[in-house]
Structure 1
Amino acid sequence: MSSGALVAAVDIGGTKIAGGLVTRDGEPLHEVQVPTPAKGEAAEVLGAVHDVLDLLAAHGSWGQVDRIGVGSAGPVDVVRGTVSPVNIPNWRGFPLVERVAAHPAVGGRLPVVLGGDAVAMTAAEHWVGAARGFANALCLVVSTGVGAGLVLNGKVYAGPSGNAGHLGHITVDMDGDPCPCGSRGCLERVASGTAIAAWALGRGWRPDGDDASAAAVAASARAGDETARAAFDRAGKALAAGIAATATLVELEAAVLGGGVLQAGDLLLEPLRRHLQTYAALPFTHGIKILPARLGTRAGLVGAAALALG
């Protein structure tokens, strides 16, 4: 296998589907993106994935691709090659690996490796990002949802089905809101960008314009809006509880946080670190480093490539 061979990487989320051609050093050479028709029929969502593959296959370097890595919102089943993203309701047990392998530009000649999007982000940050050098770490994606992955004993640990570390769907509020996953009070229902904006709106916050997003809440918080600041404090508190619980189970050195909500910076990280001092109470959970991810929006693609490379 040529050392110069490329990996075609696809990152499927509830908002966008990204694609890239990634080198063996973890560097994306070419990137494309299309919106996710998340509420569309299964074939429509697959069509968007195929559009990304079409765009990648049209690039002059496509001939150097020797494998495909796919990171998808989950849950996933890496044994069966299927996905059931919480935020894509018409994909339940969807045979994604089979359908990607059947794309004309793939034609069954390239191996397709599937992983959860948060596991992919974890693989990326451990390979070339903020988790590099840590033997035991938790990596979180805080965006439309909340996903996470684990590094244990120096290796990404995905678990038998590929869903280990699925922290966004642990309960942090016993009497909390119902979650699309079927549970209630999930971390994702408190700390995701969607949840931050919804909580602030429900308590009287109003955006300056039509943008009722977590970014707009952050702008209001920076301007001194107390409800907006409280929304980020609440999210940071929930994340601290989830990180502390994970550290109690597996003993962590670091937690790396990425995703669009992290653009809020210390509005989220300061309360997270403060509340972590309360929740990480046992001596062996002290000293967890809370670090911002380094790869930004590229983490999903780099991570999908890392999973494909094994």
Structure 2
Amino acid sequence: MTILALEIGLEGFAATLVGEEVADEEIGRVPLPSAAAWATCRDLLLEVSRNHEITAVGIGSSGPIDMLAGVVAPAEIPEWRTGFALVEAVQKTFPGATVHLALDGVCLGLAERNFGATSEVMDALSVTVSSRICAGVMVGGFVVVGRTGNAGHFGHVLVPGFDDLCECGGRGCVEAVAGGSSILRWAHGQGWIGNSVEALVEAAGGGNEIAVAALNRAGTALGRGIASVAPVLDIDLVVIGGTVAKSGPALWKPLTAAVATHARLGFLTSLRVIPSELDGIGVLAGAGVLAMMARVPA
């Protein structure tokens, strides 16, 4: 029995065979193409699964998705924005396999629940902050999927004090302030000329005022977003990963300060916010868990 995991990410496709753990060096990756997205994805799956009989496939995709229909519509892939029947396409590629789809945030929650920091708690939020922001919500030990499979869109929680225009069409979404692309866009608007979050973090470490301000407002927005959802979910742990989460004190200091300022109810006094240890493989590892949970026994 061989299980295949696929991630439809913000910058590319990633796939791996699933064993006891997902090792980064065993992951096949390709950047998002400008055209022929499914052909590129299919070729990656066939390359990774070569010489193996695939019996189950787990897919973690950026949203929005329609889990029941097996359709994805990520904004990063123009061909798929109106909906692509990904599950059907994968099933045609591996006719004998069961195929299961979940939002990237759900997969992230499954990975943290099985391999990461939330394995010893019952109620938690697992957040990835990269170009965009996704999250996995765990309540009572179970990762919440939602009516359409889209539970976990933490990036579209509204945060007070901000009016930045979001790509969803709304204003004041945490992703519009704290997503990697949004941080860079704001910094560029203030006159900073670097081209990556990593460069921005380095500039902040050197005392660049624009870089410091960009990460300060991102951390503040994240902290306010966490403080907004924490009392709704009654959680005691938030785990944050992703490229932006590696920004160091310039991000984490305002983040934790905002949580401390706004999460003041008595039942939130034990709330912890900590960095993830999954180091970028959470969604893919969670897709593997999804496939193992849902597979049909031989």
TM-score w.r.t. length of structure 2: 0.92
SS of equivalent to 2:21? coil
Q: Structure 1: which 5+ residue stretches go unaligned?
A: none
Q: In structure 1, how many angstroms separate the alpha carbons of the residues matched to 2:165 and 2:252?
A: 26
Matches within 5 A, 1:213-228: 213-228=196-211
- 1:121 maps to which of 108, 122, 141: 108
- When residues 56 and 170 of structure 1 are mapped into structure 2, their CA distance, relative to the original with a 3 A threshold, is same
Structure 1 distance, partners of 2:12, 2:92, is 22
Other structure's SS at 2:26 match: strand
Query: SS of the residue aligned with 2:273?
Result: strand
Q: Secondary structure, in 3 states, of the residue corresponding to 2:219?
A: helix
Match of 1:101, as an amino acid? Answer: Q
The alpha-carbon deviation at position 263 of structure 1 amounts to: 2.1
The 1:247–1:223 alpha-carbon spacing in structure 2 relative to 1, beyond 3 Å, is: same
Task: Specify the alignment match of 1:31 in structure 2.
Answer: 27
Give aligned pairs, total.
Answer: 291
TM superposition shift of 1:306: 1.0
2:262 aligned with 1:279: yes
Matches within 5 A, 1:121-200: 121-172=108-159, 176-200=163-187
1:245 maps to amino acid? S
The CA deviation string for residues 205-261 of structure 1, in whole angstroms up to 9 with x for no partner, is 233xxxx11111101001111211111111111111111111110111110111111
Is the 2:177–2:183 Cα contact (8 Å) retained in structure 1?
Answer: yes
Report how far residue 173 of structure 1 moved: 5.2
Q: Which amino acid aligns with 2:172?
A: G
The superposition leaves residues 149-176 of structure 1 with CA deviations (integer Å, 9 ceiling, x where unpaired) of 1011011111121111211112225762
1:15 to 11, 15, 35: 11
Q: Which runs of 5+ in 2 are unaligned?
A: 294-298
* 1:52 matches 2:44: yes
Q: Is the 8 A contact 1:81 1:97 kept in 2?
A: yes
Moved over 6 A (4+): none
Aligned partners of 1:213, 1:178: CA distance in 2, in Å? 20
Deviation at 1:94, TM superposition (A): 1.4
Contact 1:200 1:228 in 2 (8 A): yes
C-alpha deviations, 1:51-80, integer Å up to 9, x for none?
A: 21121122x4x23x3200010100111111
Q: Which of 143-152 and 286-295 deviates more?
A: 286-295
TM-score by length of 1: 0.89
Superposition RMSD in Å: 1.7
CA distance in 2, matches of 1:187, 1:87: 19
